[in-house]
Structure 1
């Protein structure tokens, strides 16, 4: 299997997978989880329906990469209202307006979901091994990290009313994973897992204008609502780095739990929430002091995280528990657990 492990995972020694699959799973941080769940990799959804999203509250889209589908949750009731089939081994999801974009790592494409009908309306080819995805504030561009190609595909979402198409490819560092776009839409930040760096892309020119050294194995990242700070989870380093987006200096290094991956910032910019994959916890960071102020026990192998638009709840995907923990942000306690598909690894919430 080699000496390099990703996101602190220790793979089973007796099980061998095809080379590209092992590399991709290592990058995803899910080798141990998905190996245990191997029989369900290509399983169909428990519910093939694609009903319209409920109108009760914001809607959460959960990527189940062991089932090749997306669970749609009405956050008012915490019930699944639809299950949407997507491509092979989906990894991340981003939402903009009436569309949800889902990367399919083994299919080298992006599924575009109409969030009103909850049906896939198009599939957009991108580079090899797409993992991360982010959409700019005006919804005109989507940025996709291609892990196997060491590049970012830029999708023009205005070309096709139902889909969009890749119009540019930007070379970045080795094995890009996460991506986020600043609130003003001027820059995209990309974590390069095996380069221990972040590529800064100028969105006007689609060129890398800077490279920021960070900790070991950077994965998830998030930007403050005002765009002034970037927060990066470094899996093997077990910490979060805080970066000033003005001069790209490192403002702070915050120790969190083992193998952090997902990170989300509250709408008011006061808190950040980090999934600690290796210890089944969520770290709560106070962003004024850059300190961990709470630890919340969640399910097994927490991975993705998202905050509701009102900032009152946090949703965490637990990859090895096949469910989502719902956390009240005032009490920092789990108030509900929602069963979803196999190996839920990512989540995004539509207002």
Structure 2
């Protein structure tokens, strides 16, 4: 995605990303980049996606765990400006506006660049088809759209659109591609490409200096952020005409639609806010203040959060769609310009199940023999595993296995590392004499293990025996 300049300088600087970035960065003082985890972090830690953030100034892609707000990887990509992730979440495609890399292909499993694709001049926007077989890249300097086979990562077609193409979006059924473009001295338009022929089949006049475009989930409307006219053009995709024009903030750049299609979020780079559009009425229902020079915007797959890249702040604002308020900020690289969501962070887990058996001793003096078992059901190996037994008051365990120690009524046994599928036993005895007659209950509990144990239901085991005399017990 290109970093849009002020409207007065749009056509000259749109070809030169470095100059555009410099002018934007000088437009406002730098703000401190802080990290505040999103408010929903604890609740969705297991399923929260990763965010891939293209940082144009630092020439990197930040990979952020949205559950914690932590950066888990930084991937070098020269002048990274646009990013899209495949539907299977296996790869991220990143454009290098003005850089030598063209289009970089990132393996999201390893967070490394596994290849590059030569496209046109000054690649800007990138979008992937709903089935993931094609990627579409706008080339500002060439006036073209490169069509890429994602299986081979090769350009299989080039669509001529003319002008200076910037934003690109694919319809939900994959049959059409919408490309924003403007040319000096000509009307700003959106080209509609038929994906079966990779040719332009319609041209729609929109507002001034259109940048990013998003298509509604039902495919009925395309929303175009028009930076020069401070509005969003709403295109009826059935007729390829503008059905509504929605006034927003100053310098709208990007737009994202919620999964249910009810709202569109628009970044306004010069008023430092986000306009929330009710798509049913094509009206702005809320305005959310964010960081300095907001550019990219994306809605999380579950529709609960909106992530906004703040170019001059070096961070992302996290907006709750329930309240339309900023619930956190996340640090990125220098000059974050675009964001897309990838696979959830894999959190290692090890389910350690606890077992306890008790047997009345056959030798004199009388005793009860206990065996505590720790079994790792996986999937990860378990380390620092400890199981603790709670003993009756006034008793002292004997014949302890190595790694077991008693403090008061607590007997703690360290099991160390348990591989996935492994189990280990620890044993001890309780002499009958101090117990008196009646029932004796011992409970074993997993008190520590790493990584997280996902199943607390099998963390404890209890065994009750009956002491009949100092010489006899029944378990």
Taking structure 1 as the reference length, the TM-score comes to 0.86
| Structure 1 residues 129-168: aligned runs within 5 Å | 129-159=122-152, 164-168=153-157
| Structure 1 residues 175-218: Cα deviation after superposition (integer angstroms, max 9, x where no partner) | 00000000000000100032500111100111111111111100
Find the aligned partners of 1:89 and 1:35 in 2 and give their Cα distance: 18
| Structure 1 residues 223-272: Cα deviation after superposition (integer angstroms, max 9, x where no partner) | 00010000000001000011110111211100000000010000000000
Match of 1:92 in 2: 82
Find the aligned partners of 1:339 and 1:311 in 2 and give their Cα distance: 21
- Post-superposition offset of 1:56: 4.9
Shift in alpha-carbon separation, 1:6–1:324, aligned structure 2, 3 A? closer
Shift in alpha-carbon separation, 1:301–1:72, aligned structure 2, 3 A? same
Find the aligned partners of 2:317 and 2:26 in 1 and give their Cα distance: 23
Find the aligned partners of 2:284 and 2:20 in 1 and give their Cα distance: 23
CA RMSD of aligned residues (A): 2.2
Name stretches of at least 5 consecutive residues in structure 2 with no aligned partner.
29-44, 344-475
Equivalent residues of 1:7, 1:259 under 8 A apart: no
Equivalent residues of 1:234, 1:261 under 8 A apart: yes
Equivalent residues of 1:10, 1:32 under 8 A apart: no
Match of 2:49 in 1: 58
| Matching of residue 338 in structure 1 with residue 330 in structure 2 | yes
| Matching of residue 196 in structure 1 with residue 188 in structure 2 | yes
Shift in alpha-carbon separation, 1:299–1:251, aligned structure 2, 3 A? same
4+ aligned runs moved over 2 Å, structure 1 = 5-11, 19-26, 28-31, 33-37
Find the aligned partners of 1:22 and 1:246 in 2 and give their Cα distance: 31
- What secondary structure sits across from 2:193 in the alignment? strand
Find the aligned partners of 2:27 and 2:284 in 1 and give their Cα distance: 32
Shift in alpha-carbon separation, 1:207–1:327, aligned structure 2, 3 A? same
Of 271, 279, 294, the residue aligned with 2:286 is 294
Of 70, 79, 86, the residue aligned with 2:70 is 79
Find the aligned partners of 1:110 and 1:36 in 2 and give their Cα distance: 29
- What secondary structure sits across from 2:24 in the alignment? helix
Find the aligned partners of 1:228 and 1:323 in 2 and give their Cα distance: 33
- What secondary structure sits across from 1:23 in the alignment? coil
Of 140, 143, 158, the residue aligned with 1:169 is 158
Equivalent residues of 1:56, 1:74 under 8 A apart: no
- What secondary structure sits across from 1:139 in the alignment? coil
Of 6, 25, 41, the residue aligned with 1:8 is 6
| Structure 1 residues 315-348: Cα deviation after superposition (integer angstroms, max 9, x where no partner) | 0000000000011111111111111110000001
| Structure 1 residues 35-74: Cα deviation after superposition (integer angstroms, max 9, x where no partner) | 689xxxxxxxxxxxxxxxx965211100000011001111
- Post-superposition offset of 1:23: 2.7
Name stretches of at least 5 consecutive residues in structure 1 with no aligned partner.
12-18, 38-53
Find the aligned partners of 1:73 and 1:108 in 2 and give their Cα distance: 22
Larger Rg: 2
| Structure 1 residues 269-348: aligned runs within 5 Å | 269-348=261-340
| Matching of residue 113 in structure 1 with residue 96 in structure 2 | no
Find the aligned partners of 2:214 and 2:20 in 1 and give their Cα distance: 18
Taking structure 2 as the reference length, the TM-score comes to 0.64
| Structure 1 residues 19-38: aligned runs within 5 Å | 23-25=15-17, 30-34=21-25
Find the aligned partners of 1:58 and 1:22 in 2 and give their Cα distance: 32
Find the aligned partners of 1:136 and 1:215 in 2 and give their Cα distance: 26
- Post-superposition offset of 1:350: 2.1
- What secondary structure sits across from 2:15 in the alignment? helix
Find the aligned partners of 2:164 and 2:316 in 1 and give their Cα distance: 28
Shift in alpha-carbon separation, 1:206–1:295, aligned structure 2, 3 A? same
How many residue pairs are counted as aligned between the two chains?
A: 318
